[in-house]
Chain A
Amino acid sequence: MSVTALESKRLEAVLKGDEEVEVVGTGTDAVAYALMLADIDVTSAYPIRPYGGVMQTVARLIADGYMKAEYIVAAHEHDQFEIVKHASAVGARTFVGSSGVGWLLAIEAIVAISTDRYPVVALIGNRALDDPGAYGVEHNDALMVRDVGWLLVWVDTAQEALDTTLIAYRVAEDPRVMLPVGISMDGAFLTHSEHVFKIPPKSKVQKFLPPYDLGNRKLHPSNVISVAPQVNEDWVTEIRKQMDEAMKNARKVIEEVYRDFAKIFGRDYGNPFVEPYMVEDADVVMVGMGTVSKPIKEAVRRLRAKGEKVGFLRIRWFRPFPTDDIIRYLSDVKVVAVVDRDYSFGSPFDGGAVFTEIRSALYEAEHRPLMMNFIGGLGGREITYNDAINMFNMALDAARKGKVEQRVIWYGVRE
């Protein structure tokens, strides 16, 4: 399917004019438009759902002349990630992505991308890991790389997906960071659902996003360097330490980049790391990542209308982890209830990954809230408005009693 006449008029406008245009599209469409605006040079594709939509839209934009980029169809996901690693090494801005087990098939190349310090941007259309086979969302695919130097961010609307893609390139390519970014998008709920969003004009994107510059690490005959050497114990500690520093730098860089984004595009995300929703004076705050925000925010509004002091904190950046913001927003509430669309079997309290990290972040806090964990929405099972109300009621009950009876709840599991 090629670009429609209407879409074509809009794309011309953002590519040539100075105004943003409003369109309707899926979460993956939004990312594809961002790639067009970011002027990526190389992308490598291998089909897997739910990430695959982005490659379809990119293919269409290239075929119809709205975008100039090498579109390389890979033999498999490992190949796919190797291709962008090498392209990035010679100075190409790259995009790649996958879902679930596809992402994991590429894991060797994924780790090499971050340890070789190439600022690749990837979309992870979050999907449950096989087996058992399931197309629906779970966050364990992206979380698999939480320890190896990938910045990880979760988005919850198509607009945020588009904006975050532009932000991701700017953060990743910053000389103080030079690490890849994985943008997580809930499979189906966001990858495939249609939203209204605005495409900013390319003229503004050019002001926001300078050309990709690898500096003295660019592989080129005129810049003779060796990369990815076998180094062994004399060097590995130092190389990992550099990554540690880059990841810590990223916190500052992310703040700067969001400030600049607000200035240039006029869309202000406030706190870049987390989205606090009615958390002021809250007794109970629910925490989650991705599209689970929708039913939870609705529940917050209705419960607030009834006088219940509840709020929601959506985590955007999981790596680097927003420890300070977690302490700021959560340490003074009575009960923190974390919704994990993931599992971490055998973790300290047999809870989810987000729960465990938040618990650890709060250890240093002066006040520590009671904590509950809902493992839910696995394999793409929906978390509805009613589910969110139920979860809040359990948390409010714990707040009243001043004690948590069941720390980790497998929400909705059939007995």
Chain B
Amino acid sequence: MVSKRSPPDELLKFIPARDSPYTLVVVYGERSIGDFWTFPDDGTVERVLGAIAKVMPNILTLDDVKKYLESLDKPSERVNRALEAYQSLVKLREVKPGEGLPYKYEPPHLPGWKDMMIGGAIPGLKPNQRNPYFTGGTAKHYRPVINFDKCIKCSLCWEYCPDSVFDVTPDGYFNPALAYCKGCGICAEVCPVPDTIIMVDEMEFEDGYGKFIDEYRAWKENREAYRKWFESLLPKAQVISVRKR
């Protein structure tokens, strides 16, 4: 069950394929981490309860949901959110085995006790090293797209990125290794040149999981095509270097 504004078929491009069939339920709405302790309550919990009542009444009936929500504060507001989801916001999609993003999960290799530093100490990364187990996959919300035509090679993105995502190219540009990017947007915040790093919704891209595009290479291979592509993304950007949206 996903809270999202995209149709199920769109979402399936990002969901790793599975061996067994399942039902994908989309509760139409903003993606949300509502009810997470640091975020404002945006009604996600109520919408999800309404959606469960719709698709799995054997687990939870609409009456059960109402009864529970009426026992809380702001009962009518809560019940309305659940009803809204129940009546109009739920989309179902039966997913067949193998449908989705071809992706094989490789569990990380965990060392034996003789191969670990004692006392739970963890060797730090050397400068420019990245932890191969710390890839973000498509889990990030936004990704940085770099306009190499405007980059002045100031190195701030490289310096500030908390995950050492940027590789230095032989001609002095900074190329993001997108698999490691967590989408924090710091690079776009610190880049001093207008419209040079933009943060674009990850859902705009169909690459991912081990086959992320290499922005620098794409730019090197065909600057004109890259420029057009960049310009097509610019209006969709959430954070843009120097000016914020």
Contacts and interface: CB of A to CB of B under 8 A. Distances in A.
A176 to B, nearest CB: 10
B124 A225 contact: yes
Which of B120, B122, B125 has the largest count of A CB atoms less than 10 A from its CB?
Answer: B120
Given A224-B124, A225-B124, A226-B124, A178 B119 contact: yes
A238 B116 CA distance: 8
Interface in B96-141: 110-113, 116-126
Contacts of A409: none
Interface stretch (A20-28, A52-60, A227-235): A227-235
Contact of A216 (B117, B120, B125): B117
A235 B122 CA distance: 11
Contacts of B125: 224
Contacts of A239: 113, 116, 118-120
A238 B114 CA distance: 8
Nearest to B112: A238
Given A234-B110, A238-B113, A117 B119 contact: yes
Interface string A44-88: 000000000000000000000000000000000000000000000
A14 B39 CA distance: 66
A245 B116 CA distance: 13
A116 B119 contact: yes
A242 interface: yes
Contacts of B119: 115-118, 178, 217, 227-228, 239, 242
A241 B113 contact: yes
B118 A226 contact: no
A246 interface: yes
Query: Interface size bucket, B side?
Result: 10 to 19
A22 to B, nearest CB: 41
A242 B116 CA distance: 9
Contacts of B126: 224
Contact of A217 (B110, B112, B118): B118
Given A238-B113, A241-B113, A229 B120 contact: yes
A235 B120 contact: yes
Interface string B215-238: 000000000000000000000000
Interface in A102-144: 115-118
Contact of B122 (A226, A238, A245): A226
Contacts of A216: 117, 123
Contact of A116 (B111, B113, B120, B122): B120
Interface in B117-169: 117-126
A217 B120 contact: no
Interface of A: 115-118, 178, 216-217, 223-229, 231, 234-235, 237-239, 241-242, 245-246
Given A228-B119, A238-B113, A242-B116, 5 more contacts: A116-B119, A237-B113, A238-B111, A238-B112, A239-B113
Interface of B: 110-113, 116-126
Lowest 9 CB-CB distances: which A-B pairs, in order? A224-B124, A117-B119, A238-B113, A226-B122, A241-B113, A116-B119, A227-B121, A117-B118, A239-B120
28 contacts: A115-B120, A117-B118, A117-B119, A118-B119, A178-B118, A178-B119, A216-B117, A217-B117, A217-B118, A217-B119, A224-B124, A224-B126, A225-B117, A226-B121, A227-B119, A227-B120, A227-B122, A228-B119, A229-B120, A234-B110, A235-B110, A237-B113, A238-B116, A239-B113, A239-B118, A239-B120, A241-B113, A242-B116
